[in-house]
Copies of this chain bind each other. A is one copy, B any other.
Amino acid sequence: MASDGFRPLDEKALIEYIKATPTLALKLGNRFDDLQIKEVGDGNLNFVYIVIGPSGSFVIKQALPYIRCIGESWPMTKERAYFEARALKEHGRLCPDHVPEVYHFDRTMCLIGMRYIEPPHIILRKGFIAGIEYPLLAEHIAEYMARTLFYTSLLYLTTTEHKRAVTEFCGNVELCRLTEQVVFSDPYKVSQYNRCTSPYLDEDAKAVREDNILKLEVAGLKSMFCERAQALIHGDLHTGSVMVTPNSTQVIDPEFAFYGPMGFDIGAFIGNLILAYFSQNGHADDKNDRKAYKVWILKTIADTWNLFDKNFTALWDENKDGPGEAFLPEIYNNEEVHLMVKQRYMRDLLHDTLGFGAAKMIRRIVGVAHVEDFESIAEPAKRADCERKALKFAKRLLKERRQFQSIEEVVSAIEQPQP
């Protein structure tokens, strides 16, 4: 045990821990016979145990003081568990339908006990690879993003509440730095951690490092990420942080949460949908050419933004006489100006979203952490072909994002052959 009382748990130690922790023991009805414990951490950073007893279940997530997929050579504060628990509780309060409940948090042990998101839920990214349609996905994620982002922004909070919350989440600085490195820096320089489908994409990766316009644009996004405390963002909202069935959408893993730009979350999600789209040709086979599925992904991209816009501006309308201090009722509640400020806000947010989305795409192709959408395409030449198309589109999106007036224009651009 470390001097701070922390110890990494294995399955055996976990059982002892559960027995000694009344909240958790109670969740299992205090019955520990036939306990099934399974470590399922397929993620990059942490250890996740599914615990199922005869009369109850939960998930235990523990942060260790390094990055799991790299190992102890890349240390990372285990305090991230604290921010994950805080964000799960805050986002869960704002959007209980789409966030697992936190049952237990132990700061010393960097350990969260939360609702087990049961089968048939799977990780959304795996659903995309399998070619499964989720008719409610866009609606659900739009609701999640609208509620969590709106209610933690100055559209709803007073400056006092907002600055207090910003202060707290400034503590999650090590995770912010990790994002700065892997999203905004490493892909644009030679780094030991970068990978790409070599040799096919070697030249493309080099071109990214030598593209001054791209680097100029990415610098602006990085500054925004570092400086702009717009709302309590999830911070890692890719399709691996979402678990789904056709009827349910659950968002997990907000350990990167802090007050940052809203577009970083919306962009992460939409950018990963676009990656899923470009990976489909690699998954097409005799039984399924994936053509209809690609149409559904494009529809989901458009619906996600449009429903987000609808939900978000509806919350704004509902709360325009509320406590939020960004737009005081006495100044902004005449119809014309209310509409003007909303349109400006949503246009800027779309552009931020496209910029961050593009940056998230690029880093998944030439940076350290790749996505299963492409990785699961066995044949390297085919994979490289999909990745190159995605990369080309992302570069264009990053540079030209301010020219897009609507998500429909973005969807059209995705469909065009990438030059």
Contact = CB atoms under 8 A, between A and B. Distances in A.
A136 B226 CA distance: 35
Interface in A313-372: 325-328, 330-332, 334, 336-337, 340-341, 344
A229 interface: yes
A180 interface: yes
Say how many copies of this protein the assembly contains.
Answer: 2
Contacts of A170: 163-164, 166-167, 170
Interface stretch (A33-41, A119-127, A137-145, A213-221): A213-221
A331 B216 contact: no
A248 B228 CA distance: 36
Interface string A151-174: 000100001101110110011011
B340 A162 contact: no
Contact of A180 (B167, B226, B325): B325
A160 B172 CA distance: 10
A157 B112 CA distance: 33
B159 A177 contact: yes
Given A154-B226, A220-B344, A344-B220, A163 B189 contact: no
24 contacts: A154-B223, A154-B226, A154-B227, A159-B173, A159-B226, A163-B170, A163-B173, A164-B173, A167-B167, A167-B170, A170-B170, A180-B325, A185-B331, A188-B331, A189-B328, A189-B331, A212-B336, A212-B337, A215-B331, A215-B341, A216-B341, A216-B344, A219-B332, A227-B228
